[in-house]
Amino acid sequence: AQSVAQPEDQVNVAEGNPLTVKCTYSVSGNPYLFWYVQYPNRGLQFLLKYITGDNLVKGSYGFEAEFNKSQTSFHLKKPSALVSDSALYFCAVRPRTTSGTYKYIFGTGTRLKVLA
Amino acid sequence: DAGVIQSPRHEVTEMGQEVTLRCKPISGHDYLFWYRQTMMRGLELLIYFNNNVPIDDSGMPEDRFSAKMPNASFSTLKIQPSEPRDSAVYFCASSSGGPNTGELFFGEGSRLTVL
């Protein structure tokens, strides 16, 4: 079965320190990869995506993600965390298919807490 | 663009009542998704449409749930009759198809409480 794993329910990091939120997937082929962020009582917001090309993808708010094909991972990173980065982060995968299906597989989310 | 617009933002109803949630996708987007979010089950895909046609409704919990998309700018998710276990935040999202796009744009959600 296809799946996305976010192994950490919560990540705590001190403000100014680098942060990593992990994501691994089990999806055949070369899927599209996404990260979304959700602030309290808000909808999910798109951060960045990997389609093809450079393994390091840059996105909104200074976030970036590194695609590793051999490890089937797509970890979210930021060099220097801000308190305002505290939120719920979701990794998502969309398989590339020829059948026309367009389903996203979401991870369970990782709560990031940046401590002042 | 105003983004994906959902209404109502909050709905409190009693068990057995009909609930209708509404969504206006971003203009020009040809995919529309309905998701449900709960603490226990996370984010669940209920149904998605392509060009107003339902493509996959395998996530719809049961016959009490129905969704329609009568035109490209409007969709509804209906629960009849509602039950307490339907309490959740329901999100609508839209997307533009194609190989180099595809990110989802979410609305702010409709928080449903069934008493």
Q: Residue B2: which pLDDT band, with cuts at 50, 70 and 90? A: confident
**Antiparallel, parallel or unpaired: β B53-56 and B110-114:** unpaired
Tell me the average pLDDT across B88-111: 88
Per the prediction, chain A carries an average pLDDT of 93
Report pLDDT digits (tens) over A9-21: 999 999 999 999 9
Residues 6+ apart with CB under 8 A from A71: A24
**Antiparallel, parallel or unpaired: β A105-106 and A87-94:** antiparallel
| Per-window interface: A 44-63 vs B, CB < 8 A | 44-46, 49, 51
In this prediction, residue A96 carries a pLDDT of 81
In this prediction, residue B79 carries a pLDDT of 97
Residues B95, B43, B75, B6, CA torsion sign:
negative
CA A76 → CA A21, A24, A89, A90, B98, distances in Å? 5, 11, 9, 10, 24
Termini Cα distance of chain B: 36
Q: Tell me which chain B residue has its CA closest to the CA of residue A35.
A: B103
Q: Is A82 on the interface with B (CB under 8 A)?
A: no
Q: Which of B31, B100, B107 sits opposite A43 (nearest CB)?
A: B107
Backbone angles phi, psi at B21, to 5 degrees: -110, 145
Proportion of chain B above pLDDT 70, given as a percent: 96
Q: Do A44 and B55 touch (CB under 8 A)?
A: no
- Other beta carbons less than 10 A from residue B106's beta carbon: 21
Per the prediction, chain B carries an average pLDDT of 93
Report pLDDT digits (tens) over B58-70: 999 889 999 999 9
Q: Which of A34, A43, A90 sits opposite B108 (nearest CB)?
A: A43
Question: What is the Cα–Cα distance from B23 to B32, expressed in whole angstroms?
Answer: 9
Strand partners, B91: B35
CA B76 → CA A56, B18, B32, B73, distances in Å? 39, 13, 11, 11
Q: Is B25 on the interface with A (CB under 8 A)?
A: no
For residue A4, pLDDT beyond 90: yes
Q: Do A34 and B103 touch (CB under 8 A)?
A: yes
Q: Is A43 on the interface with B (CB under 8 A)?
A: yes
Tell me the average pLDDT across B31-52: 94
